[in-house]
């Protein structure tokens, strides 16, 4: 165990060093003891974990306690407004009004919430804004647009997640659903409908959470690559997942999981576990809205804290309501750093700017460091042309990633855009 723990510290240290080199950032180099000290700076008792976990599971199972999808119809059809924008499809051709009319008609919102049904996810699945797998890009020739920024991708949802379904698309290929954190369209073959008997067996109050990223499970053939923060009820020495019968109804199924893949939820919020979860998530490829079974900035923070029983909302703006928000928008950059030094709690504080969120992990030689899933650094060449230096992964950086790079400008500086912190 001691050897493994040192290996985790070494890996985190090496990743910080690699990140520093890859973006030419004058980040202060770290060693094993530095990372250990950063993790120790956190407060183990920053939350009442039993209370937080009870709240988490109350929200997690909320769709099964609901009588219908909670969004108003107007809220549910928000994605149809893309018809008024210039959107490019997978062939980089502009989506026609006829294309949008087809998607909107197939959405079948005349049936919204008329006969809702409770269900469960059979696998990890994309949640789409419109009921189609076609991507929707803004002008893909512009920096920061095109892949991976598919605006038809609302989120990713994990296997075993409880949901409630409002209705099906006209072609019955898609289900409009809501989970505890997000709603939208999922493919019909990714869900099964549950009854009271299934819910009673599944909700056994003995919940385990995955602490390993993208490991395979079998039932008895391959079912899914499981992501960190996936929940499995445990019964005796087996773990519960759902499978479906010929009528799309959910049945209880039991699988085996290894001891290093899941632990009782919530994990104790201590130094060893903080590093364990970070080690699983760091260096993961960036995935806009969970595209390709990866994470974006807010799903990283959401899943990181879920393992410890802390519920966070799905997007960065909503996450500022999950703790005590401290406004920094009127401060200078130097004042922002000093404010975070004074008020930030390592591994328990989120740093927020419009469209992005980061986990503050502590100070190295008085420089605040953050762990976040980021796509790129914005740059501008001598002719004024904007472009992106792609990071595309979960990384440890300062609050000014990319500083010192060729074509770096103050316009590129994330620190300029930081609006506040959230002490969880």
Same domain, yes or no, for 250 and 285?
Answer: no
**How does pLDDT run along the chain (424 residues), one tens digit per residue?**
444 445 444 445 444 443 433 444 433 444 445 556 787 778 888 889 999 999 999 999 999 999 999 999 999 999 999 999 999 999 999 999 999 999 999 999 999 999 999 999 999 999 999 999 999 999 999 999 999 999 999 999 999 999 999 999 999 999 999 999 999 999 999 999 999 999 999 999 999 999 999 999 999 999 999 999 999 999 999 999 999 999 999 999 999 999 999 999 999 999 999 999 999 999 999 999 999 999 999 999 999 999 999 999 999 999 999 999 999 999 999 999 999 999 999 999 999 999 999 999 999 889 999 999 999 999 999 898 999 999 999 999 999 998 888 899 888 899 999 999 999 9
- Give yes or no: residues 393 and 351 share one domain: yes
If asked whether residues 103 and 175 sit together in one domain, one would say: yes
Q: Is residue 55 one of the residues assigned to a domain?
A: no
> Within this chain, do residues 111 and 71 fall inside the same structural domain, yes or no?
yes
The pLDDT score that the predictor gives to residue 188 is: 98
pTM value is 0.92
What is d(CA 218, CA 224) in angstroms, rounded to the nearest whole number? 7
Residue 2 has a pLDDT of: 43
Question: Are residues 235 and 383 part of one domain?
Answer: no
Residues 85 and 25 placed together within one structural domain of the fold: no
pLDDT at 34: 56
Task: List Cα–Cα distances, 398 to 89, 413, 416, in angstroms.
Answer: 36, 11, 13
Residue 336 sits in the same domain as residue 366: yes
Domain residues for 160?
Answer: 61-264
**Cα–Cα dist 211/227, whole Å:** 8
Query: Within this chain, do residues 387 and 365 fall inside the same structural domain, yes or no?
Result: yes
Domain edge (last residue) among 264, 285, 312? 264
Check if the beta carbon of residue 184 is closer than 8 Å to that of residue 128. Answer: yes
Q: What is the pLDDT of residue 333?
A: 96
Same domain, 281 and 259: no
Q: How many domains would you assign to the chain?
A: 2
- Give the helix, strand, coil percentages of the chain, each rounded to 5: 30, 30, 40
The SS3 assignment for 263 reads strand
Is residue 176 within 8 A of residue 170, CB to CB? The reply is: no
Considering the domain architecture, whether residues 15 and 89 belong to the same structural domain is answered as: no
Is the residue at 218 inside a domain? yes
Sign of CA dihedral 21, 28, 419, 408: negative
Cα 253 off chain centre by: 27
Domain match, 73 and 32 both: no
- Residue 236, domain member (yes or no): yes
Planar angle of CA 269, 351, 363, nearest 5 degrees:
70
Q: Which of 264, 298, 333 is a domain's end point?
A: 264
Partnered with residue 177 across adjacent β-strands are 165, 184
* 251 and 359, same domain (yes or no): no
């Amino acid at each position: 165990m001691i050897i493994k723990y040192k290996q985790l510290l070494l890996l985190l240290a090496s990743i910080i060093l690699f990140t520093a080199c890859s973006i030419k950032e004058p980040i202060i180099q770290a060693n094993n003891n530095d990372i250990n000290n950063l993790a120790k700076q956190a407060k183990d008792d920053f939350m009442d974990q039993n209370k937080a976990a009870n709240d988490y599971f109350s929200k997690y199972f909320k769709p099964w306690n609901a009588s219908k999808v909670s969004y108003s119809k107007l809220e549910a059809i928000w994605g149809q407004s893309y018809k008024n924008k210039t959107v490019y499809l997978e062939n980089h051709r502009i989506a026609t009004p006829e294309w949008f009319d087809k998607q909107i008609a197939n959405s079948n919102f005349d049936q919204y919430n008329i006969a809702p049904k409770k269900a469960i996810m059979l696998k990890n699945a994309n949640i789409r804004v419109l009921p189609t797998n076609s991507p929707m890009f803004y002008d893909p020739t512009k920096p920061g647009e095109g892949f991976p920024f598919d605006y038809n991708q609302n989120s990713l949802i994990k296997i075993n997640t409880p949901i409630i379904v409002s209705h099906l698309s006209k072609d019955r290929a898609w289900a409009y659903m809501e989970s505890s954190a997000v709603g939208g369209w999922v493919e019909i073959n990714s869900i099964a409908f549950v009854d009271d008997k299934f819910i009673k067996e599944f909700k056994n109050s003995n919940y385990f959470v995955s602490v390993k990223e993208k490991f395979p499970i079998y039932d008895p053939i391959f079912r899914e690559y499981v992501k960190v923060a996936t929940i499995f009820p445990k019964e005796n020495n087996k773990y519960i997942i759902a499978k479906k019968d010929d009528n799309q109804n959910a049945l209880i199924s039991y699988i085996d999981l290894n001891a290093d893949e899941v632990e009782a939820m919530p994990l104790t919020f201590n130094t060893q576990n903080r590093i364990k979860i970070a080690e699983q998530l760091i260096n993961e490829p960036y995935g806009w809205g969970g595209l390709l079974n990866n994470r974006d900035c807010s799903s990283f923070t959401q899943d990181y804290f879920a393992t410890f029983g802390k519920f966070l909302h799905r997007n960065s703006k909503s996450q500022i309501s999950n703790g005590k928000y401290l406004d920094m928008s009127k401060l200078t950059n130097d004042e922002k750093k000093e404010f975070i030094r004074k008020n930030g709690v390592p591994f328990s504080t989120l740093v927020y700017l419009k469209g992005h969120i980061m986990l503050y992990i502590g100070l190295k030689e008085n420089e605040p460091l953050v762990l976040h899933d980021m796509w790129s650094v914005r740059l501008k060449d001598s002719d004024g042309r904007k472009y992106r230096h792609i990071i595309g992964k979960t990384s440890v950086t300062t609050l000014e990633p990319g500083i010192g790079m060729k074509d770096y400008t103050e316009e590129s500086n994330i620190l300029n855009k930081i609006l506040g912190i959230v002490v969880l």
